[in-house]
Each structure stands twice: as C-alpha cells, then as structure tokens.
Structure 1
Amino acid sequence: MSQERTNVATFKGNPITLVGPEIKVGDKAPDFTVNLNLVTDASLADYAGKVKLISVVPSLDTGVCDAQTRRFNEEAANLGDNVVILTVSVDLPFAQARWCGAAGVDKVVTLSDYKSKSFGQAYGVLIKELQLDMRAIFVIDTNDTVQYVEYLSEMTNAPDFEKAIAAVKNLL
C-alpha cells in the first residue's frame, strides 16, 4: 500500500491527500513509467545523462498550468542541449499534443501519467481525491540525484520559476 500524506497541501483551501513518498534533495530520483503518446512509454532512463527539470501540473487546460508550461518552454531555449524539461500531467497524450500545438509549445516534453499514475505515486504528487498530479517541480542531475524540490502547498499557486531555473543552471 502506498504512503498517504495529509495536511501538506490544499486545493482552493480544501485539504487534499497526496499518495506516495515526499522526495527530498539528495534522494535518488525514483523511476516511473508514463506515456509519451498512446502507444509509447517513457521512463526516467529515457533522459539519462541530461539535467532534468520535471514540471508537474494537474492539467494543461487550466490557467496556472498553462502559464507554468509556457514559462518553462521559454526558459528551455536558454538552457542548452544538456537539459530536458519534462511536463507531467494526467491529461491524455492527444490532449497534451493538441494543447502544445495551440500554445506553440515545442521545447518541453509532455508526458502523460493518465494510465497508471506511476509518476504521481513515485514522486508523492498523486492527489487521492482527484486522481490528478499535484503541482510540483523537481530538478534532477545527470546522475539521477534530486537537486531541487518544490511541492506547492496550494494547488492553484504558481511555482518559484527563478529558483527552479537557478537550480538547473547550477548543474551546467
């Protein structure tokens, strides 16, 4: 049975339960299986040797998630080829592709956690009540060690973009 964490986050002020462990700086990044598209899986190993910024959003079709993903797409242009920005949500892969096309987002990789919620459970961001992934940021170095973590305490708040980007630049 997965660990459940209560009293750590809210959605519009209402308490929510997060499923999975709290990941901390210095931890080995947990593996996961998500969907790159409907038939192709992706895992942590697919991004081996790169600095990874993982931006977790509940759904790309909401204002804060939209802004968060657009911001990291803009930042990606200045970070070089040794960095990959992954946006994880439980949106279906074709909804992610539609959103990226409409938004002109072409530098972040969208990954869908819809099928098994593997990422959400491994990184402690699966919201039990909503079956969505809670907004969070993880920066993982080329050796798959977690170097930066931000779990938001309120789902509707935006992450600290500057700190996350600084954590990535620190690894280059």
Structure 2
Amino acid sequence: MSERTGLVTLKGNPITLVGDELKAGDKAPDFQLTGTDMSSKSLSDYEGKVKLVVVVPSLDTSVCDTEVRKFNEHATSLGDDIIVLTVSMDLPPAQKRWCGAAGVDRVECLSDYKDHSFGKAWGLRIKEIGFLARSIFVLDKDNTVRYMELVPEIGQEPDYDAALAAAKQLV
C-alpha cells in the first residue's frame, strides 16, 4: 500500500496519506461502512444516485461540524437523485448523537471505524493520527469519480460551491 506525503498538512505540518490516490475519472472503490443504526453500507446501497461523498476527520471538531451542517442545508435543494454521505472515523453512536444535536437529517453519516478499509482504499487514511483526510468526491450514478477535492490543510473548509455544482451537473 502506497504512502503519500506533501499533499496535506495538519496545522502546517505535512502528514502522510495511506493508500493510492483516487482521481477524477477513476471508478470509486466499493466500501463497507457502518451506518448510525449499525447496519453495513456499501456503494450498491446508493445505486442509481449521484453521490456527494463528504469525508471529514471527526464530527466533533469545529470545521467538520460547520462543513456537515452546510452540506445538510444544501441537501434539500439537490433533489432526490443526489445523496450526501459523510464518512468519518467517529463511532456510529457518536455520529447519531451528533446528527441529532446538530439537526442534521439530510446527510447520511457513515463510519470507517471497523477496519479502516475505506480510508486505505480511497487513499485518505492519515498515518500519523488514524483519521481521514478532509476531502470531497462527487460520483456519478455509475460510481465514477467526476469531481474530487483533497483539502490541503485539514483545518480548512472545502470548496462547497464547486462540489455542489459538480453534483448538480450530473443529474
């Protein structure tokens, strides 16, 4: 499994991402993540939908909190053909509590806590701290990556407008 450095920083310090880089045009690797109800979720569960995959280090941080709330607000205007999935390392019960407290009801939270396979397969596992790197992926209905942003500094927010525009373009 490859390791990549120099792409992302944490408080200005370079970090190492584990896994191969996923780029626009690539087929998204399937995943086995855990929903807030402890059910197993894979890409096939969202077949026929455009997927906006929002990857965050932890919902319990201010930037992640802001990011997921913003995508939740925008989710209403995206229509039924687009689903917003948020992936983090947070435990499913913690994700469920956070969603309830934050009023997040239009974004589906998924956890990579079991075997960290999502982070490795999508090239986003941070070697030094075990979290996932902040990133956005827009997958078409056939699970091909059509847009991707790897946020260069973990503490920064992504380009919301670009991600939302990319998702809307696919419907």
TM-score (norm 2): 0.98
Residue 115 of structure 1 aligns with which residue?
114
Residue 83 of structure 1 aligns with which residue?
82
Residue 14 of structure 1 aligns with which residue?
13
User: SS at 1:86's partner residue?
Assistant: strand
Residues 1:129 and 2:128 are matched in the alignment: yes
Residue 167 of structure 1 aligns with which residue?
166
The offset of 1:38, in angstroms, is 6.3
Query: Which letter maps to 2:8?
Result: A
The count of aligned residue pairs is: 171
Residue 47 of structure 2 aligns with which residue?
48
User: SS at 1:132's partner residue?
Assistant: coil
User: SS at 1:77's partner residue?
Assistant: helix
User: SS at 2:141's partner residue?
Assistant: coil
In structure 1, the gaps of 5 or more residues are: none
Residue 24 of structure 2 aligns with which residue?
25
CA distance in 1, matches of 2:27, 2:60: 31
Residue identity over aligned pairs, in percent, reads 57
The offset of 1:40, in angstroms, is 1.5
The 10-residue stretch of structure 1 (54-63 or 114-123) with the greater mean CA deviation from structure 2 = 114-123
Residue 98 of structure 2 aligns with which residue?
99
Q: Deviations over 1:18-56 (max 9, x none)?
A: 011111111011111111146411111111110000000
CA distance in 1, matches of 2:36, 2:135: 22
Q: CA RMSD in A?
A: 0.9
The offset of 1:105, in angstroms, is 0.3
User: SS at 1:133's partner residue?
Assistant: coil
The offset of 1:126, in angstroms, is 0.4
Query: Which letter maps to 2:43?
Result: L
TM-score (norm 1): 0.97
CA distance in 2, matches of 1:47, 1:10: 32
In structure 2, the gaps of 5 or more residues are: none
CA distance in 2, matches of 1:7, 1:107: 34
4+ runs deviating over 2 angstroms:
none
User: SS at 2:77's partner residue?
Assistant: coil
CA distance in 2, matches of 1:41, 1:3: 27
The question of whether the paired residues in 1 share the 8 Å contact of 2:36 and 2:95 is answered with: no
CA distance in 2, matches of 1:133, 1:92: 13
CA distance in 2, matches of 1:105, 1:160: 20
